[in-house]
Amino acid sequence: MRYVRFRDPAGAVRRGTWTDTDEIRFGGERYTPDEVDVLAPSEPSKIVCVGLNYAGHAEELGKEPPDRPRMFFKPPNTVSSHGATVTLPADKDRIEYEAELGVVIGEQCRNVDESEAMDVVEGYTCMNDLSNRDDQHIEQNYVRGKGFDGAAPLGPVVVEPEAVPDDAFVRTRVNGEQKQDGSLSELIFSVPELIAEITAYITLEAGDVVSTGTPKGVGPLADGDEVEIEIEGIGTLQHAVRIP
């Protein structure tokens, strides 16, 4: 089942299902995606992102794979949705896409054992970890580099983890051209390992998102680019970017 948050034509926020025939259904009503506003699949109090969780991405950045998860935050202002146009910071030389599996947390949790970690997961979604490299490379906490408005497009749906193969592909297309083509089998730290590590330090709330890192192939975006993040078993997150 693919669950979607949306605003119906009357302005009410609903949680329905997105069918294989591209219908959005709620309460006996049926809509096409163009008839509603697709919203981000949750309203996280925080997004906990994991850096360098693919060896190939670490290599392309000239860095060694980490021996424990490298983590940073994206605050709520970064959340944007399927179909949005994200306004990127102006006067930057390089802002890049990063396709990532997003793990939506289903309940408040702390000190979760790795063996029980999937019990606190509501489902999986797609995320683009938009990254302002100009500032990221000179910051320690990535506030400007990762925390700018709209820097975390999410969606369009949440699916049960069982719907996503362990070796699901993770892909990015920009203006229809494929740029990234990785696999969840390449993750250095698994979803249960990440949840256990994060909750040893931080309480996760229902709706929070853990973003699990990106495969190799990251690259720059330009004004007007159309981005697609596709993960096998979930679907395709689509959004545009503009640069003032």
Tell me the per-residue pLDDT of 78-133, one tens digit each, with 9 for 90 and over.
Answer: 999 999 999 999 999 999 999 999 999 999 999 999 999 999 999 999 999 999 99
Q: Which amino acid is at 122?
A: E
Query: For residues 180 and 37, what is the distance between their CA atoms, to the nearest angstrom?
Result: 28
Of 111, 119, 48, 103, the residue nearest 78 (C-alpha): 48
Strands 2-7 and 79-81: unpaired
CB distance 221 to 97 below 8 Å: yes
Query: For residues 27 and 199, what is the distance between their CA atoms, to the nearest angstrom?
Result: 36
User: According to CATH, where is 2.30.30.370 located in the chain?
Assistant: 1-39
Query: For residues 197 and 32, what is the distance between their CA atoms, to the nearest angstrom?
Result: 40
CB distance 222 to 244 below 8 Å: no
What does R_g of the chain's alpha carbons equal in angstroms?
Answer: 17
Query: For residues 221 and 167, what is the distance between their CA atoms, to the nearest angstrom?
Result: 27
Q: Does pLDDT of 172 surpass 90?
A: yes
pLDDT tens digits for range 196-235: 999 999 999 999 999 999 999 999 999 999 999 999 999 9
Select from 3.40.640.10, 1.10.10.60, 3.40.50.300, 2.30.30.370 the CATH code of 1-39.
2.30.30.370
Q: What is the mean pLDDT of the chain?
A: 97
Q: What is the pLDDT of residue 160?
A: 98
The conformational region for residue 64 under phi > 0 = left, psi -120 to 50 = alpha, else beta, is: beta
Of 130, 142, 98, 100, the residue nearest 242 (C-alpha): 130
Q: What is the pLDDT of residue 61?
A: 87
Of 220, 230, 209, the residue nearest 152 (C-alpha): 209
pLDDT tens digits for range 37-71: 999 999 999 999 999 999 999 999 898 999 999 99
> Rounded mean pLDDT of 151-170?
98
Of 216, 217, 236, the residue nearest 226 (C-alpha): 236
CB distance 49 to 73 below 8 Å: yes
Query: For residues 196 and 199, what is the distance between their CA atoms, to the nearest angstrom?
Result: 5
Query: What pTM value is reported for the model?
Result: 0.97
Q: Which amino acid is at 186?
A: E
Query: For residues 212 and 198, what is the distance between their CA atoms, to the nearest angstrom?
Result: 12
CATH code for the part of the protein at 40-242 = 3.90.850.10
User: According to CATH, where is 3.90.850.10 located in the chain?
Assistant: 40-242
Q: Does pLDDT of 135 surpass 90?
A: yes
Question: Per-residue confidence at 140, pLDDT binned at 50, 70, 90?
Answer: confident
Percent of the chain with pLDDT over 90: 98
